[in-house]
Chains A and B, each alone.
Chain A
Amino acid sequence: SQQGEEDPQALSIQEGENATMNCSYKTSINNLQWYRQNSGRGLVHLILIRSNEREKHSGRLRVTLDTSKKSSSLLITASRAADTASYFCATDRSSNTGKLIFGQGTTLQVKP
């Protein structure tokens, strides 16, 4: 079963706007990762945030983690049409196995 939920399920914005996606999970985690998936393709790793971190940046991406609320958010600033994809959060509950538990994803459409 899925670890948690992502919100919203779908998001449509204009190029240049910011996009925010939220992820909630159910159990304690070792780290949380965000992936992007273009239609019919494999997953591309975007960013990883560990349980003892609260915020992380990578280029136009900003990820926050609130372990007390068991939630994370992904912010994409100055969006581009090429950002159109599905975005998934995935939690790693144990460093022993490393298996990832994915959310259901947010489908982002960026209109040019």
Chain B
Amino acid sequence: DTGVSQDPRHKITKRGQNVTFRCDPISEHNRLYWYRQTLGQGPEFLTYFQNEAQLEKSRLLSDRFSAERPKGSFSTLEIQRTEQGDSAMYLCASRPLAGGLSTDTQYFGPGTRLTVL
């Protein structure tokens, strides 16, 4: 399968613990995006990368959140000192920067559902 993959699919943690999620984009997609979706709402933008550079961060991304894409391929999203309000689905998406038929289309992964107890 050559789609976007995310790991783990589900994570249950206790408040105060740190968690890390991984996203593997479609091969050769330069841009990678992270979104957060709470129950009954649409996804909200968190941050995005162009290759290894993190170019924009939402105000939703507090200092407890950090994202990396060290080699311009996979990305990780870490949440430190988790709070119950962090419970949500974390979605990753990728798209090519240029070329191809659908450069503006974002391809989403299955998401990581985080539950903070």
Which chain B residues (98-115) contact chain A, with CB distance < 8 Å? 102, 104-111, 113
User: What 0/1 pattern do residues 11 to 37 of B give for CB contact below 8 A with A?
Assistant: 000000000000000000001010100
A-B pair number, CB within 8 angstroms: 66
Alpha-carbon distance A55/B101, docked complex (angstroms): 19
User: What residues of B have a CB within 8 angstroms of the CB of A88 in the complex?
Assistant: 42-43
Report whether A98 and B48 are in contact in the complex, using a CB–CB cutoff of 8 Å: yes
- Is A95 at the interface (CB under 8 A from chain B)? yes
Residues 95-112 of A at the B interface (beta carbon under 8 Å) = 95, 97-105
Interface residues on A, range: 20 to 34
CA A84 – CA B95 in complex, angstroms? 27
- Shortest Cβ distance from A33 into chain B, in angstroms? 7
Q: B113 to chain A: which residues have CB within 8 Å? A: 40
A103 to B35, CA, bound (A): 13
- B31-69 interface code vs A (CB 8 A; 1 in, 0 out): 101010000111111001000000110000000000000
Which partner residue on chain A sits nearest B59 by CB separation? A1
Please state if A100 and B45 are interface contacts (CB–CB under 8 Å).
yes
Tell whether, in the assembled complex, residue B91 and residue A100 are in contact, meaning their CB atoms are under 8 Å apart. no
A-B contact pairs, 25 of them (CB 8 A): A2-B42, A2-B44, A31-B104, A33-B104, A41-B111, A42-B91, A42-B108, A42-B110, A42-B111, A43-B43, A45-B108, A48-B105, A92-B104, A95-B104, A98-B31, A98-B95, A98-B106, A99-B48, A100-B35, A101-B45, A102-B35, A104-B40, A104-B41, A104-B42, A105-B42
Smallest CB-CB A-B distances: 5 pairs: A102-B42, A43-B108, A42-B110, A42-B108, A99-B45
